Structure 1
Amino acid sequence: MRTVPYKPEHLISLSLQPAQQYLGGFVTQAYADALARYDSYTIMDDAGAIVACAGILPQWQNRAFGWSFIAADAGRHFTYIHRAVSAFLDRVPVRRIETTVDCEFAAGHRWARLLGFSLEAERMRGYRVDGGDCALYARVK
């Protein structure tokens, strides 16, 4: 396993986990390119297969949105993914990082809490690109 600087082609080639597959049509080349302008990384397995892409999108000074796209077959690598993302969040010089989790994705809620995020809004109706609902989490240093 290794963590490398994110490149747009990493996200474009990623086969998303079922809970994120609704994003497939939204992940365009332009979107993948935009994420590369900010602090972001890709996690690859030993064979070079992409298992996750993650990073932050600055909102304004001391506030950013944390994002991640996880591969459908990333489960066996999740300990490494968790440690890499946790270390990244610890070193980012941003006081407040927000993230959202699909309201029905229990594993996503569990991971957000394990990463040190606290639930701030239980249900934001119509938040997702497809009109689905998300919960808002924040991690404040």
Structure 2
Amino acid sequence: MEIVEFESWHLEHLHLQEAQSYMISYFTPEYGSLLEKAGPSFTALHQGTPKAAAGIVMCHPHRALAWALLSAMGPRHFLPVHRAVRAFLDRQTIRRIEANVDVSFQQGHRWIRALGFELEAARMRAYSPEGRDYSLYSRIYKEV
């Protein structure tokens, strides 16, 4: 697995896992460019093909929103992606990083907790553009 800086064109080649497939309609060059400029981010490549992209969107100097887009992958690829995301988050010194998970996506809830996030709001009703309910997690930098 090769970790490179995220570039907007990576979205064109990222085949999202089923749980995130509704996001495909947002994959425009403009959306990719916004993600690229919003804060630090990276892509995990396997043989030149994006398997995952992740990063943070800076809300202000002390708060950011984490994002991750993952392809369908088995444990062989997921473990290196998990380690890369964890290392990326561990390097951040932002006081508060938030993440949102679809309430019905149990694997997403397990993963976000494994990344060191804690549940703050179990259900934010009609949170997504499609009207899906999401949960709010946060990770607080310990040096605050």
* TM-score normalised by structure 1 residue count: 0.95
Distance 2:136 2:84 in 1: 22
SS of the aligned residue for 1:76 comes to helix
In structure 2, what is the equivalent of residue 127 of structure 1?
127
* 1:60-98 C-alpha deviation (Å, 9 max, x unpaired): 121000000001235431110111000000101211100
Question: What's the CA shift for 1:28?
Answer: 1.9
Question: 2:29 aligned with 1:34, yes or no?
Answer: no
Segments of structure 1 that go 5 or more residues without pairing to the other structure are none
Distance 1:78 1:72 in 2: 9
Q: Which shows bigger deviation, 53-62 or 70-79?
A: 70-79
Segments of structure 2 that go 5 or more residues without pairing to the other structure are none
RMSD across aligned positions (CA): 1.1
In structure 1, what is the equivalent of residue 44 of structure 2?
43
Q: Which shows bigger deviation, 22-31 or 59-68?
A: 22-31
Q: When the two structures are aligned, how many residues end up with a matched partner?
A: 140
Distance 2:125 2:28 in 1: 24
Mapping for residues 76-91 of structure 1, pairs under 5 Å: 76-91=76-91
Q: Structure 1 residues 33 and 79, CA, compared in 2 at 3 Å: closer, same or farther?
A: same
SS of the aligned residue for 1:36 comes to helix
Distance 1:3 1:138 in 2: 24
SS of the aligned residue for 1:44 comes to strand
Distance 1:100 1:109 in 2: 9
* 1:14-46 C-alpha deviation (Å, 9 max, x unpaired): 11000001111122211110111120000011x
Distance 1:42 1:107 in 2: 21
The answer (yes or no) to whether the contact 1:51–1:74 under 8 Å persists in 2 is no
SS of the aligned residue for 1:50 comes to strand
